[in-house]
A = this chain, B = another copy of it.
Amino acid sequence: MISRYEPVAKKIVHYSANACLIPICSLHGSAVITVEGIGNTETRIHPVQERIAKSHGSQCGFCTPGMVMSIYSLLRNQMEPTSDEMMEALAGNLCRCTGYRPIIDGCKTFCKESSCCQNKVYGDCCLNQKDLPSPANKKKICTALFSAEEFQPLDPTQELIFPPELIKMAESQTPQTLVYHGERTAWISPVNLNELLELKARHPQAPLVVGNTAVGPDMKFKGVFHPVIISPTRILDLYVVECTEDGLILGAACSLTTVKNILTDVVSKLSAEKTKIFSALLQQLKTLGGQQIRNVASFGGNIISRSSTSDINPILAVSNCILNVASQGRLRQIPFSDLFADGLGNNTLEPEEILVSVKIPHSKKGEFVAAFRQAQRRENALPIVTAGMRVIFEEGCNTIRDFCICYGGVGFTTVAAKQTCQALIGRPWDGQMLDEACRTVLKEIILPSSAPGGKVEYRRTLIVSFIFKFYLEVLQSLKIMYPMQYPDIPDNYASAIENFHTKMPQSMQKYQDVEPGQLPQDPVGRPIMHQAGTKHATGEAIYCDDIRAVDEELFLALVTSSKPHAKIVSIDPSEALKVPGVVDIVSVQDVPGTNEFYNYDVPDIVFAREKVTCVGQIICAVVADSEVHAKQAAAKVKIQYEPQEPVILTIEEAIEHKSFFEPQRKLERGNVDEAFKVVDHILEGEIHVGGQEHFYMETQSILAVPTGEDKEMNLFVSTQHPAFVQDMVASCLGIPGNRIMCHVKRIGGAFGGKLLKTSILACVAAVAAKKTGHAVRCVLDRSTDMLITGGRHPTIGKYKVGFMSDGRIMALDINLYMNGGCTTDDSVLVSEVMLLKLNNCYKIPNIRAYAHACKTNMPANTAFRGFGFPQGPE
């Protein structure tokens, strides 16, 4: 939680933020409270910590401090929040273990509404009747998992105060330009608009950073480098909020949360007719990122980054908004849509120009505005396609006077469907118009099958679907306004108009109560808080990367293959070795023992030797004095490849090339061929089951600490299987297993993903530690983790089933193909499990089943909770 004192308003604001995005320089004058600050097991735990812990809101515990701080920040602003506010506060936090229900259960106890389970099945809610009735002779059924009576009350007088010295500083100081110099970057915070414009003229390429939600990820993940960064957060002009007669002017540096609050306020005060644009914008803002993002990301930054999948630009673009831009000695206004006039979003603003504010007009009578978005997840996910649409009718009828559609996610930036709209002017709002619109828009907005981002068919569907939704929405409005003139919307279309609404989870947990005679000290069958629950909630729980650094510890960054199948022609580390702080580069030559671990016919590999067989395969690793240096250097290792054929990525391609791991598993019983001759019916088909990413909250983490003698090494690893890590590392280093001590205190989620790949990463770290004699830490960033560690096996089942008219299955001929990736890992085992399940769960008299683990040029897939079951032929 960040707290700032606003000297003009003379108030303190508190807001949650993501630590990984906040530049330290931006915190000048702020107070930062982390989970450690609000309570601990030593002195007193905070009620938020207590309630999340006691309501079983932590399992692995890795996400818990974030949950705690989101709710804490909410409660600092709102002592008794609504459950909607609570859900919104938590929307930016991911949990991968609990399913959220127990977290919400704990947090709900702070809400002013009843924190009732709303379970009416048994006639009364959980609060009134904790123990559900149960038939005689059966154990009592309970739903109470914690006892809310024992919770400490929330007491605002116990909270940390905002440091008075910061208030004093904010009020007294004459503002001075702040400049911070890093190793490569200077951070400059000017004090007024003139200075800002002067700076921008001097450094036209320097980005303006407010929330760092656009510039930060580019720097962190895409290697974008800015020698100068300008922070405009002290320029009051950029925070203007002005209600004019015909609209609203919003400063570019206003946070999205501020914009959202202002719009909510204005919408509640003005007539609905005037606020259709505001409402559409509000709808988009509610799902833009999570609250932590919206609290820091600036309105102007979101606009000016002109992201292809912008949530707000399409709606602003169709709404005739105006941009106020400034440069030294020049102020000008440009129509919002000019930003994208070239289709790239590059040439409207001069590099030295900055966006000062945006004017959003009131909507007019006869004007309908809507915004759409489709994402993989409602909150905290980038959209796939967004859209803004606006139509104005001739007064009193449904003849289109003006029509405007803009899309996000279908081109480099926001794209307008100008021709489509132009062609529809003068047409009535009817089914023919809709048909015409859908047909022409797909001709105008062309998404070639190779368009970046993939999912082309889906996106094309969305382009049309959004128009359909808009058509229905407008139709409904027209119908309300002029009930007699328009037909009812068909029932089967009605669901298309409903806005998806995130509901408070209504589930509850039931369990049999223990026998009355069970001793109090016997915990079996009773709900017991996680042994480390409180420590999860206070942040005291130590995960692998929390272990304090050892003197002269090094950080390891991986260099992985960018080719799916290629010979390695050369590895040139010269540029990487020049990066300051780089100590060494390790590769297959440095492995003292085993590099290829044979399980079946294709080995799992520590470092690529001469060739690579998938993108993300580990080729070498850089060790340096810091994570930043290691990653900078890793990006500078130059690898020359000689691409090889074939490149097999999909199951289909593997089948085509007959690329399977041996041995392939077979199950046969009865006489399938004969049986097919006598069955009444035969059905043939295919079933596709997609893969899955483990997405453990804590990425792969290893700390290898050589003791300095006898080649002994202490490994601190986030793994599910320390003995396996010990064995593999010992083999890799060519030493007896008793020289390796593998420590696991706890792990931040695993789900099967912290077995073999973790062991390979531990080998990499151990080889580096062995070579350098230093402790080596390797903590993957999320993108590298997802790139290289594999997941659940995608599977295709091709079946032919013969059955009698009464439904009995008499014969099954099935081939299961799963994408194993480039090494066996658990693929053969998973194929065995699939057949076992088929054999054990179904009694089919005649069966012939093959399970094939496809060898492809993908990272090896691996164990995953369920292990072959989800893909099994259920």
Complex Cα spacing A553 to B548, Å = 10
Q: Which residues of B contact A708 (CB under 8 A)?
A: 540, 542, 546, 548
Please determine whether B710 and A535 come into contact, CB atoms closer than 8 angstroms: yes
Q: Which residues of B contact A710 (CB under 8 A)?
A: 41, 535, 540
Q: Which of B41, B540, B550 contacts A550 (CB 8 A)?
A: B550
A709 within 8 Å of B by Cβ?
yes
Q: Which residues of B contact A546 (CB under 8 A)?
A: 708
Complex Cα spacing A553 to B540, Å = 19
Interface string of A535-550 (1 = CB under 8 A from B): 1000011100010111
Residues A551 and B552 in contact in the complex (CB < 8 Å), given A707-B542, A709-B540: no
A775 within 8 Å of B by Cβ?
yes
Q: Which residues of B contact A552 (CB under 8 A)?
A: 548
Complex Cα spacing A708 to B544, Å = 12
Q: Which residues of B contact A553 (CB under 8 A)?
A: 551
Please determine whether B541 and A709 come into contact, CB atoms closer than 8 angstroms: yes
Q: Which residue of B lies closest to A707 (CB)?
A: B542
Looking at the assembled complex, report how far the CB atom of A744 sits from the nearest CB atom of chain B, in whole angstroms. 13
Please determine whether A548 and B548 come into contact, CB atoms closer than 8 angstroms: no
Q: Which of B540, B541, B549, B709 contacts A551 (CB 8 A)?
A: B549
Question: Number of A residues whose C-beta is below 8 Å from B?
Answer: 19
Q: Which residue of B lies closest to A709 (CB)?
A: B540
Looking at the assembled complex, report how far the CB atom of A780 sits from the nearest CB atom of chain B, in whole angstroms. 21
Q: Which of B535, B551, B709, B745 contacts A548 (CB 8 A)?
A: B551
Residues A542 and B775 in contact in the complex (CB < 8 Å), given A550-B548, A550-B551: no
Looking at the assembled complex, report how far the CB atom of A6 sits from the nearest CB atom of chain B, in whole angstroms. 34
Please determine whether B550 and A709 come into contact, CB atoms closer than 8 angstroms: no
Chain A 603-651 interface residues, beta-carbon cutoff 8 Å to B: none
Complex Cα spacing A705 to B547, Å = 11
Complex Cα spacing A710 to B533, Å = 12
Q: Which residue of B lies closest to A540 (CB)?
A: B709
Chain A 541-581 interface residues, beta-carbon cutoff 8 Å to B: 541-542, 546, 548-553
Looking at the assembled complex, report how far the CB atom of A544 sits from the nearest CB atom of chain B, in whole angstroms. 12
Q: Which residues of B contact A535 (CB under 8 A)?
A: 709-710
Q: Which residues of B contact A745 (CB under 8 A)?
A: 707
Looking at the assembled complex, report how far the CB atom of A739 sits from the nearest CB atom of chain B, in whole angstroms. 13
Q: Which residue of B lies closest to A705 (CB)?
A: B548
Looking at the assembled complex, report how far the CB atom of A528 sits from the nearest CB atom of chain B, in whole angstroms. 17
Complex Cα spacing A553 to B550, Å = 9
Interface string of A711-731 (1 = CB under 8 A from B): 000000000000000000000
Looking at the assembled complex, report how far the CB atom of A530 sits from the nearest CB atom of chain B, in whole angstroms. 14
Looking at the assembled complex, report how far the CB atom of A777 sits from the nearest CB atom of chain B, in whole angstroms. 11
Q: Which residues of B contact A542 (CB under 8 A)?
A: 707-709
Q: Which residues of B contact A548 (CB under 8 A)?
A: 550-552, 705, 708, 775
Q: Which residues of B contact A550 (CB under 8 A)?
A: 548-551
Q: Which residues of B contact A707 (CB under 8 A)?
A: 542, 745
Interface string of A789-820 (1 = CB under 8 A from B): 00000000000000000000000000000000
Looking at the assembled complex, report how far the CB atom of A234 sits from the nearest CB atom of chain B, in whole angstroms. 33
Looking at the assembled complex, report how far the CB atom of A546 sits from the nearest CB atom of chain B, in whole angstroms. 7
Looking at the assembled complex, report how far the CB atom of A545 sits from the nearest CB atom of chain B, in whole angstroms. 12
Complex Cα spacing A744 to B868, Å = 46
Knowing that A41-B710, A535-B710, A551-B551 are A-B contacts, what are 18 other residue pairs whose CB atoms are under 8 Å apart, sorted by A's residue number? A535-B709, A540-B708, A540-B709, A540-B710, A541-B709, A542-B707, A542-B708, A542-B709, A546-B708, A548-B550, A548-B551, A548-B552, A548-B705, A548-B708, A548-B775, A549-B550, A550-B550, A550-B551
Q: Could you name 24 residue pairs across A and B whose Cβ atoms are closer than 8 Å?
A: A41-B710, A535-B709, A535-B710, A540-B708, A540-B709, A540-B710, A541-B709, A542-B707, A542-B708, A542-B709, A546-B708, A548-B550, A548-B551, A548-B552, A548-B705, A548-B708, A548-B775, A549-B550, A549-B551, A550-B550, A550-B551, A551-B551, A551-B553, A707-B745
